[in-house]
Structure 1
Amino acid sequence: MTNYVFSLSLPTNWTSSTVFSSPHSGRDYTDSYFEKSNLSRNHLRSSEDAFVDELFSSAPESGAPLMAAVMPRAFIDLNRGADELDSAIIEDVKPTKGNPRTAAGLGVIPRVVSQGRAIQSGKISNHDALDRIAKYYEPYHQRLNGLLKQTTDAFGESLLIDCHSMPHTALDNISVRGGSRPDVIIGDRFGSACAPEIADQVEAAFRRQDFVVARNLPFAGAYILREYGRPTQRRNAVQVEIDRALYLNEASVTKNEQFDLIKRRIDRVVLELAKISQAPLKFAAE
């Protein structure tokens, strides 16, 4: 199933309580959006989690759903609260206090992409901002929330894998024990979004495929984990950040020669994550 908001791939044999979501891999940039931007196509795409939905595309074959955004992160950021409105890009909005992401231009309607590059000159109207939220943000979250509820009702629990990628430079000052640079950051908001034993299993699945893994630093998880991670209700959520340099030419936003190899390793991780909780199908796939 694909519409202008999201694509949803459901398994034929739904056996897992794991749900995969890629909220930043959307790449449906309209011509009018490019015309309004100050940036080149590649610069505009620099904050996109390019091809992450493809890296995790084996989820349905492993018995788990995969949901992915269609619209790009530079247009609407699904990993922010709907109230994270930036007065520097949206007209008639009061300045937000105490939210460093919004102050930096990374609200629900982004003002900048990576390296602080301004997306456009001037502001958009309050009407246009709210229209984006109503047309693209709210339907995505309504469907994701419904999917997780459906899964929890059927299996008694759910595990959301919130799939992302990170710039290689984000890891310049990060190392794990032994001094190795991490390939993957597992975020559980320091235990508030996921039961420790579940987060440990997610981390172990990546380690078994020879990824160097760190936990929570520099990325612990944002709105999606805060909203959907309810471990006391058996609704767990984990954010996965993959170093883009492993599979991507970041400057050109194209797959590098290692993409297929990395995808095969991710396929094996996905299979393990889907097996964290498996049970017979209790409802029909849509």
Structure 2
Amino acid sequence: MSPYTLHRGSAPLLISLPHNGSAIPDELAARMKRPARRSPDTDWHVAELYDFARDMGASVIRPFASRYVVDLNRPADGHALYPGKSETGLVPTILFSGEAIYRPGAEPDADEIADRVKRWWKPYHRALADELNRLRKEHGRAVLWEGHSIRSHVPMLFEGRLPDFNIGTADGASCSPELQSRLASLLEAQADYTHAVNGRFKGGYITRNYGKPEQGIDAVQLELAQVNYMDEDSFEYLPAKAANVQLLIGEMLKTCLEHARSA
């Protein structure tokens, strides 16, 4: 199984979809409990949701493997992104529902985790960093857009219903104030979806690590409530609902491109 696919575009925009993969190697699946083998915590269909961005000239990188193999949006040393709050780790052992992923005694040990980082995590991050550097050298500036999605209700992670559009910029550290303000203004100007900026989701490891606006790279994470484009129970993609979401995402990506080209 290849670690990732990368489409190289011509515009100063890289879309990273680190939780889009749902594949689990057979030897790992055999150690997992049946509910985990469906990889229910996948960011389902985000590759389809962002497919239009290729026509805008964007580069797109996405993995094949499930986040249960290794979470590409966590630091390789496993330290927490949200200290004091519930979250899953570099190699998760529980589902978002709180249920165990592995059968008793089948959890990965430290050596296996290190091997997964070598085989899956490092290749994705090398490719991501190389593509970002290529775009920045070619255009002078680049935007990294982290495309994520999650069920609208996940009691382990947050209370109540998640806002529809959740922008994370590491509390403003991963992108310029101007870009964050323009994206927030787009969300405030529409009435169809609820939104939050740097709320429960402030951006994961990728946003925080690669977002260096002072060095010409702005990074923004969008965590989208899945109810807006799919059936959260069956995982079915709903094209009519998705089309409306794509219109707003498209406006946000255009804003990112305008920012990169004008800076």
Q: What range is the shorter-chain TM-score in?
A: 0.7 to 0.9
The change in CA–CA distance for 1:41 and 1:125 in structure 2 (over 3 A counts) is closer
Aligned to 1:141: 125
Aligned to 2:203: 221
Aligned to 1:35: 30
Aligned to 1:128: 112
When normalised by structure 1's length, the TM-score is 0.79
CA displacement at 1:191 relative to structure 2: 0.5
Partners of 1:272 and 1:185 in 2: how far apart? 12
The change in CA–CA distance for 1:125 and 1:182 in structure 2 (over 3 A counts) is closer
Aligned to 1:192: 173
Aligned pairs (5 A) from 1:253-264: 253-255=235-237, 258-263=238-243
Partner residue of 1:164 out of 140, 148, 173: 148
Partners of 1:17 and 1:231 in 2: how far apart? 14
CA displacement at 1:241 relative to structure 2: 0.7
The change in CA–CA distance for 1:74 and 1:118 in structure 2 (over 3 A counts) is same
Instruction: Establish whether residue 276 from structure 1 lines up as the match of residue 256 from structure 2.
Output: yes
Could you tell which deviates more after superposition, 246-255 or 76-85?
246-255
Partners of 1:99 and 1:32 in 2: how far apart? 32
CA displacement at 1:125 relative to structure 2: 3.2
Instruction: Establish whether residue 247 from structure 1 lines up as the match of residue 216 from structure 2.
Output: no
CA displacement at 1:132 relative to structure 2: 0.8
The change in CA–CA distance for 1:10 and 1:126 in structure 2 (over 3 A counts) is same
CA displacement at 1:205 relative to structure 2: 4.5
Secondary structure of the residue that 1:116 maps to in structure 2?
coil
Instruction: Establish whether residue 65 from structure 1 lines up as the match of residue 59 from structure 2.
Output: yes
Gaps of 5+ in 2: none
Aligned to 1:8: 6
Gaps of 5+ in 1: 86-95, 175-180, 282-286
When normalised by structure 2's length, the TM-score is 0.85
The change in CA–CA distance for 1:33 and 1:100 in structure 2 (over 3 A counts) is farther
CA displacement at 1:105 relative to structure 2: 6.6
Partners of 1:114 and 1:248 in 2: how far apart? 18
**Matched-pair contact (CA < 8 Å) for 2:230–2:242:** no
Secondary structure of the residue that 2:39 maps to in structure 1?
helix
Partners of 1:263 and 1:234 in 2: how far apart? 32
Partners of 1:28 and 1:19 in 2: how far apart? 23
Cα root mean square deviation, aligned? 2.7
Partners of 1:105 and 1:166 in 2: how far apart? 13
CA displacement at 1:204 relative to structure 2: 4.0
**Matched-pair contact (CA < 8 Å) for 2:21–2:64:** yes
Partners of 1:191 and 1:275 in 2: how far apart? 17
CA displacement at 1:249 relative to structure 2: 2.1
Partner residue of 2:47 out of 43, 53, 60: 53
**Matched-pair contact (CA < 8 Å) for 1:183–1:242:** yes
Could you tell which deviates more after superposition, 156-165 or 209-218?
209-218
The CA deviation string for residues 171-208 of structure 1, in whole angstroms up to 9 with x for no partner, is 7546xxxxxx7311001111111112112233344555
The change in CA–CA distance for 1:64 and 1:225 in structure 2 (over 3 A counts) is same
Query: Which residue type is aligned with residue 128 of structure 2?
Result: L
Secondary structure of the residue that 2:167 maps to in structure 1?
strand
CA displacement at 1:267 relative to structure 2: 5.0
Secondary structure of the residue that 2:224 maps to in structure 1?
strand
CA displacement at 1:41 relative to structure 2: 5.2
What fraction of aligned residue pairs are identical, expressed as a percent?
A: 26
Aligned to 1:91: none
Partners of 1:267 and 1:7 in 2: how far apart? 25
